[in-house]
Amino acid sequence: MPKFRKKPVEIEAVQFDGNNADEILDWVNEHNEDGNTAHLVPHGEFTKDAIIIPTLEGDHRADVSDWIIQGVKGEFYPCKPDIFEATYDAV
């Protein structure tokens, strides 16, 4: 099989720590042009806090410790911490 290397790009990202939901919601919703808004899913008896992020593929859940990424075309998506660490370096 042919192999490919990901092109180096700079992205903006913030890690959801459970206390910065308002900051993330403001950031995502300010830049989201299609009318779909991110929103908080408060914790309940069986769940932890989560943020629902509208992505190009539909709504995705971001849990505490996940990274929220703004991609090269302005799109947003959540990323698990281990994948983020393996894929991105700080600049």
DSSP the chain: -----PPP---EEEE--SS-HHHHHHHHHHH--SS---EEE---SS---EEEEEETTEEEEEETT-EEEE-TTS-EEEE-HHHHHHH----
pLDDT of 42 higher than 80? no
Instruction: Give the number of other CB atoms < 10 A from CB of residue 55.
Output: 15
Task: Encode pLDDT of 46-88 as tens digits.
Answer: 557 899 999 888 899 999 999 999 988 889 999 999 999 999 9
Task: Encode pLDDT of 3-31 as tens digits.
Answer: 998 888 889 999 999 889 899 999 998 88
pLDDT of residue 3: 93
pLDDT of residue 36: 73
pLDDT of 34 higher than 90? no
pLDDT of residue 83: 96
